[in-house]
Amino acid sequence: MVTTIDVSAFIYNLHGKPSFEVVKQWFTFQRKVLFDLYGNFFDDKDRFRIYLYLCKFYSVKDNLSMLSKQKINVDLGYATLAANSTKLNNYSPIVDAVLDSLEAEHFIQRRGISIRSSFRCSLLTAPDYNPQTQKFTSNADIPCNHANLKGINHGFIMVPTKAVTKERLRNTPGTRQTWNDRRLKFLLMLYAHCHIEYFGGIDKRIVSINPAGKMSLDEGFCYNLNVSPSAALTTMEWLLRKGEFVPVRCYFLRGVYYGDVGKCKPNPDLKEHIILRPKYLIKHTFDSLEMKKIKGRMFI
């Protein structure tokens, strides 16, 4: 079984063009949904992608996903607007069935369902699941906000909106082959372990890269995604080739990220590590005075 891959060819070139982009917009995705907790519920080829798209347009402040049913159908390629038309007539039964199932199993709650094009829904705190009975138990009594998700130890992922485009979720054979569910879930889980202030990127205990450029993955990370280490490394290499993540040589001071090699002066107290960094970095994470200093020591 393959347990390491050589990523030395992907390590950030100090003299190359910038590989990273700081973006303002991000959305919340519940970590619990990524873990293999719900039997085969999210194995459905449409359910995970539509749920993810609902999350992308979810406003925590308003407790509302800002998507109409028409937008879901058209954006994700389940239906097409007629020429010169602004109203969809051929709503996909697939989308209807997915939304019905997400509501029935307590992932969403509909609001304003009297007019199809005005469909709106609230996202609910992800339900519990009993694998023996295959029954879902609602957590709708727990408001789906950041404080509560932290408080019940479910946690949430801050996902840059640019990392999950409608083109990556579209209902076409080519898209489903290129951006399959495993790759999408892998991308999301890596963002779950991104902590710029501590690691300069992805937690080095999750993605480890030795000085020779050999990468290995934490077994628990692979287990949570229900994939073998070998399959996980294959997915990782694909994401590297796509430029979604880039290994960067970094300095650490007393075990905490200090800055990028080439952007700050070396000294005996600094220790070098190779860290995996996502292409898209969220501006919000650089708001503190200390993080603004760190940003000045990064290739972004």
pLDDT of residue 118: 66
| Number of C-beta neighbours around residue 105 at 10 A | 19
Instruction: Write down the pTM of the prediction.
Output: 0.93
Residues of the chain with pLDDT under 70: 1, 112-118, 153
pLDDT per residue as tens digits for the range 14-46: 777 778 999 999 999 999 998 878 888 998 889
Please indicate, yes or no, if residue 67 is contained in any of the structural domains: yes
Work out the widest C-alpha separation in the chain, in whole angstroms.
68
Is 202 among the domain residues?
Answer: yes
Burial of 50 (0-12, 13-18, 19+ CB in 10 A): buried
Does residue 243 lie in a domain region?
Answer: yes
Q: What pLDDT is recorded for position 240?
A: 97
Cβ–Cβ under 8 Å, residues 259 and 267: no
Residue 221 lies in a domain: yes
pLDDT computed for residue 70 by the predictor: 92
Range of the domain at 103: 5-295
Cβ atoms 157, 187 nearer than 8 A: no
Task: Confirm whether 207 is domain-assigned.
Answer: yes
Residue 34 neighbours by CB under 8 Å, 6+ apart = 157, 185, 188, 189, 192, 224, 225
Residue 71: name the closest of 86, 49, 93 by CA. Answer: 86
| pLDDT the model gives residue 242 | 96
- β-pair type (135-137, 156-160): unpaired
Distance separating alpha carbons of residues 86 and 68, to the nearest angstrom:
13
Residues 121 and 67: their CA atoms lie apart, in Å, by 8
Question: What pLDDT, on a 0 to 100 scale, did the predictor assign at position 117?
Answer: 45
User: What's the domain count of the chain?
Assistant: 1
115 in helix, strand or coil? coil
Q: How far apart are CA 180 and CA 230, in angstroms?
A: 17
Decide if 300 is inside a domain.
no
Query: What is the tally of helices (H) and strands (E) in the chain?
Result: 11, 18
In a domain, 126, yes or no: yes
Task: Assess if residue 29 is contained within a domain.
Answer: yes
Which residue's structure tokens are 């005075």?
289
